[in-house]
Amino acid sequence: MAALLSEVSGHPVEAVVVDDTFVEGLTATGLPEPAARAIATYGRAIREGYLDGTSEAVENLTGRPPRSLQEVFEAHRAELL
């Protein structure tokens, strides 16, 4: 995702590993710790392939095929910059 954002934005984007500092930052803003820890696990789940599955949910709900992440980034380039 970082490489794709770098490509679309024209600016370097670096991926960083989420650690307890991230959890502490989320809880400092008022998020309950269990929720902060749950959010922090998404990166690991992605890296370990737990979220690699696909479904037809988007197309079933919207009636049109889903867009790729690159298409979404390109469509929202101005907001990303």
Q: How far is CA 42 from the centre of its chain?
A: 8
| Under-50 pLDDT residues of the chain | none
Q: Is the CB of residue 37 less than 8 Å from the CB of residue 20?
A: no
pLDDT (0 to 100) of residue 65? 93
Tokens, residue 72: 């979404």
Return the pLDDT at 5.
92
Parent domain of 76: 2-80
pLDDT at residue number 46: 84
Total structural domains within the chain = 1
